[in-house]
Amino acid sequence: MTAPVNRQIVLAARPAGMPKATDFRLETTPVAEPGPGQILVRNIWMSVDPYMRGRMNDRKSYAPPFEVGKPLDGRAVGQVLKSNHPKLKEGAVVSNMQGWREYFVSAGEGITPLDASLPLSAYLGVLGVPGFTGWYGLKEIGKPKAGETLVVSGAAGATGSLVVQMGKILGCRVVGTAGTDEKCAYVRRELGADAAINYKTAGDCVDALREACPKGVDIYFENVGGPILDAVLRLLNPQARIPLCGMISQYNLEIPDPGPRYLFSMIANRALMQGFIISDHFDRYGEFVGEVGGWLKQRSIKSEETVVEGIENAPKAFLGLFSGDNLGKMVVRLAPDPPASDRK
């Protein structure tokens, strides 16, 4: 048996505007042997997420910038192949932050063993950071009450699709926006939204939203940025809440687009808008997994994924986020799921 070779994706150049395939490079490195106290992990699934675009710029933000010539990183799920670590056993399925590569050696920092009875890729989506983000933002900032109207942008995406379903479970009227008719159909039929609006064909969205929200808007869960927020502002109810989760439409712009004209509605309606970063709230992760994992096991919620095969296609998967190629969570499969009998 030949020694395995690690393939990884390196940031070849900092993108200007929309990233291109040539901003990434596939590299091959030998797989190291784990030293004392170390483990060797083979990644099975890796995540591509919109926030990674910000880390490709040479600007300090809430996460440190990626370095040119170095492998990218991000959330992944892998399996421990070899272990000299006292607690992390061979066969253990683990969450880690060493995505964008097939193999890595670690002393165990940031490595979390997972309940391997759940679908492993779910830990990158509905049970991972995207789901956790939706759960926290809706619950703690959106504070939904039964009978209220919740609008969710990016409703067919990894975060939005959980927010839509949570809104229904909590008794809200839920209206989603998405960028294709197929996604809108999915948001209505599969996720259970009361209405869905294709923002690419609905003009400024004001008329479509007014029709879909006859009692106004109490909560707007913002994943996208741009004109939808402005349309929602015109329909706000008093005491409305706007959790700001993401603004994917703006991430590839050198200078962001002008913002909403109707900010005064925030005053007239005593509205609240709050940005949040889920890494501030990891102390709530157990509570989240308990609640959402429970819904998942009871099949009260659905979780869709768009799967791209192979590390060599990870840049393509990432770029696809910005053209809306994904329904649900975009994930990259780096290796086959181990059979249940091999998971520890």
Binds its own copies by CB under 8 A, chosen from 18, 33, 58, 62: 62
273 binds its own copies (CB under 8 A): yes
The answer to whether 101 touches 7, Cβ cutoff 8 Å, is: yes
255 binds its own copies (CB under 8 A): yes
261 binds its own copies (CB under 8 A): yes
Structure tokens at 315: 């840049």
- Separation of alpha carbons 191 and 175, rounded Å: 11
Binds its own copies by CB under 8 A, chosen from 22, 61, 201, 300: 61
Other C-beta atoms closer than 10 Å to the C-beta of 100 total 27
270 binds its own copies (CB under 8 A): yes
Q: Which residues pair with 177 in a beta bridge?
A: 197
Binds its own copies by CB under 8 A, chosen from 258, 286, 290, 339: 258
Q: 317-328: string of b/e by CB count within 10 Å (b at 16+)?
A: bbbbbeebebbb
The window from 104-112, 206-214, 261-269, 284-292 that contacts its own copies (CB under 8 A) reads: 261-269
Binds its own copies by CB under 8 A, chosen from 149, 269, 303, 326: 269
Structure tokens at 43: 């990644």
254 binds its own copies (CB under 8 A): no
32 binds its own copies (CB under 8 A): no
Which residue, chain included where needed, has tokens 């699934």?
A: 45
Which distant-in-sequence residues (6+ apart) come within 8 Å of 38 by Cβ?
A: 84, 85, 105, 106, 107, 108
Q: Which is nearer to its own copies, 274 or 300 (CB)?
A: 274
Selection from 166, 168, 222, 162 nearest residue 195 by Cα:
168
Least Å distance, CB 91 to its own copies, is: 39
Binds its own copies by CB under 8 A, chosen from 81, 266, 307, 335: 266
Selection from 265, 163, 171, 165 nearest residue 222 by Cα:
163
The window from 79-87, 91-99, 266-274, 320-328 that contacts its own copies (CB under 8 A) reads: 266-274
207 binds its own copies (CB under 8 A): no
The answer to whether 103 touches 80, Cβ cutoff 8 Å, is: no
Binds its own copies by CB under 8 A, chosen from 15, 65, 113, 275: 275
The answer to whether 231 touches 205, Cβ cutoff 8 Å, is: yes
The answer to whether 328 touches 161, Cβ cutoff 8 Å, is: yes
Binds its own copies by CB under 8 A, chosen from 181, 257, 312, 325: 257
245 binds its own copies (CB under 8 A): yes
Largest CA distance in the chain: 70
The window from 78-86, 91-99, 203-211, 222-230 that contacts its own copies (CB under 8 A) reads: 222-230
- Which residues bind to its own copies, rule: CB under 8 A? 54, 61-62, 225, 229-230, 244-247, 250, 255-277, 280
